[in-house]
Structure 1
Amino acid sequence: MIGLSFGPFARKNFAIEPLVPADCHHLHRIHAETFSHFWSEDDFHALIGQETVFGFIAREEGRPDDAVGFVLARLTIDEAEILTIAVSPAFRRLGVGRELMDAVLRHLHHVRAQTLFLEVDQANIAAQALYRRLGFIKVGERPAYYETEAGRSAALILRRDLGTGTPR
């Protein structure tokens, strides 16, 4: 999936590539820009080193040393989960998150996974809209799961069945 570019709706073009251990410093930086409780570079190295973990990184075309977003997922047998997804604030609403999720869905289709789960902060309306467009449905909730500046917020548990249809 190297070199996958955005469509005409984006103002910039991005390449979506598989994650490698050398990307961990980018993952840490983007995660720290996105979340108040962020993961360390060592956390990312440990995760990427696991056989069941995979992911993709988005880079602005023409700037291969500068990542703008990533997604990290885990696949066990035929069930997958998004561990985290983050896009640098300056690159949000340009389709980066959608392209990253599409890369995960294509990979899971290729390996014949049946289900994909993720959790999203109930306050993250933009992410929820993206996940609805991608066919996710709410299957649970973890009350007061996230700690935010505004207090505690619930985590919505979403699922997408992958057993039928074709990838995007």
Structure 2
Amino acid sequence: MLHIRPATAHDLPSLAHIDQYNNPHPWQIAQFSGSLQSPHTHIWLGETQGEICTFIVWQTLFNETELHLIATAPNHRQQGFASQLINTMLAANPNNRFFLEVRQSNLAAQKLYAKHGFHIIAQRNNYYGNEHAIIMEKSC
């Protein structure tokens, strides 16, 4: 069972460690710390058996929410944890429009987002160096 809660400063090394396995340009602890201190940014994590195994970072301004980062430790994938965190974000902002950017090659993530009602609205060419970013949106 996944226990979901807001992250604290104590959790940041674990989040940075998980991000190293998921992101070609992982966030450093300082980036997580800056987000944790922002009044508009939210970091939530999931724990199972006392181990942090997944997290999500989003920013909300007015009636728009942007998903910045979501990651799950490799040994905890395919268990629905990312979906539970996305549902947490959606429930926390029920009347918002949601946006995210995802690598064009990350078809698994695009499928996950589509499952939650996101659809492709645009593309940013070479956003990730040589790779395009797909912009997805979910309206309330």
Letter in 2 for 1:71: I
The 8 Å contact of residues 87 and 96 in structure 1, kept in 2 or not, is answered as: yes
Equivalent in 100, 115, 126 of residue 133 of structure 1? 115
Q: 2:61 and 2:10 mapped to 1: Cα distance?
A: 24
TM-score by length of 1: 0.79
Between the aligned partners of 1:146 and 1:94, the Cα distance in structure 2 is 28
In 2, the alpha carbon distance for the partners of 1:97 and 1:31 equals 13
Structure exhibiting the larger radius of gyration computed from Cα positions: 1
- Structure 2 counterparts to residues 105-144 of structure 1, below 5 A: 105-109=90-94, 112=95, 114-144=96-126
Q: Which residue of 2 aligns with 1:86?
A: 71
Partner residue, 2:17: 29
What is residue 155 of structure 1 aligned with on the other side? 133
CA drift at 1:135 = 0.5
TM-score normalised according to structure 2 size: 0.94
Over the aligned positions, Cα root-mean-square deviation in angstroms equals 1.1
**3-state secondary structure, aligned to 1:93:** coil
Q: Which amino acid is the alignment partner of residue 59 of structure 2?
A: R
Identical pairs, percent: 26
Does the 8 Å contact 1:15/1:58 carry over to 2?
A: yes
Gaps of 5+ in 1: 1-12, 163-168
- What pairs with 1:42-53 in structure 2 (closer than 5 Å)? 42-53=30-41
Q: Secondary structure at the match of 2:21?
A: helix
